[in-house]
Amino acid sequence: MKIPFKYTLRSILKRKTTTAVTILGVALVVFVFAAVLMMAYGIQKTLVSTGLPENVMVLRKAANGEISSIIDGDVQNVITTLPHIAKSSDGAQIISREPVVIITLEIITGGMSNVTVRGVDQTVKYLRPNVNLIEGKMFNPSLRELIVGSKISKKFKGAQIGSTVNFVGDEWKIVGVYESNGNGFESELWGDSRQLLNAFNRGSAVSTVTLKLDDVNNFDKFKRAFEADRRLNAYEPKIEQKFFEEQSALLAGFIQVVGIFITVVFSFGAMIGAMITMYSAVANRTVEIGTMRSLGFRRRSVMSAFLIESLTISFFGGLVGLFLASFLQFFSISTLNWNSFAELSFSFALSSDIAISSLIFAVIMGFVGGFLPSVRASRLNIVNALRAG
Report which secondary-structure segment, H or E, holds 179.
Answer: strand 170-179
pLDDT in tens, 226-276: 999 999 999 999 999 999 888 887 778 888 888 888 888 878 877 787 777
Kindly report the pTM of this predicted structure: 0.80
Q: Residue 101: name the closest of 190, 209, 203 by CA.
A: 190
Residue 253 sits in the same domain as residue 200:
no
Q: Please determine, for residue 309, whether its predicted confidence score (pLDDT) is greater than 90.
A: no
Label residue 335 by pLDDT band (50, 70, 90).
confident
Query: Residue 6 corresponds to which amino acid?
Result: K
- Using an 8 Å Cβ cutoff, are 184 and 65 in contact? no
C-alpha distances (whole Å) from 35 to each of 28, 131, 187, 255, 355 are: 10, 29, 22, 11, 11
Q: What's the pLDDT at 104?
A: 92
Q: What range defines the domain where residue 330 resides? A: 5-48+247-387
- Which residue, 233, 265, 295, sits at the end of a domain? 233
Buried b or exposed e, range 311-346, using 16+ CB within 10 angstroms: bbbbbbbbbbbbeebbebeeebeeeebebbebbbbb
Query: Are residues 340 and 226 located together in one domain of the fold?
Result: no
Mean pLDDT of the chain: 86
54 domain-assigned: no
What's residue 143's pLDDT? 93
Task: Report the C-alpha gap between 65 and 100 in whole angstroms.
Answer: 10
| Total domain count, the chain | 2
Q: Do 322 and 288 belong to one domain?
A: yes
- Enclosing H/E stretch for 211: strand 208-212
- pLDDT for the residue numbered 172: 94
Residue 127 and residue 90 share a domain: yes
Same domain, 100 and 228: yes
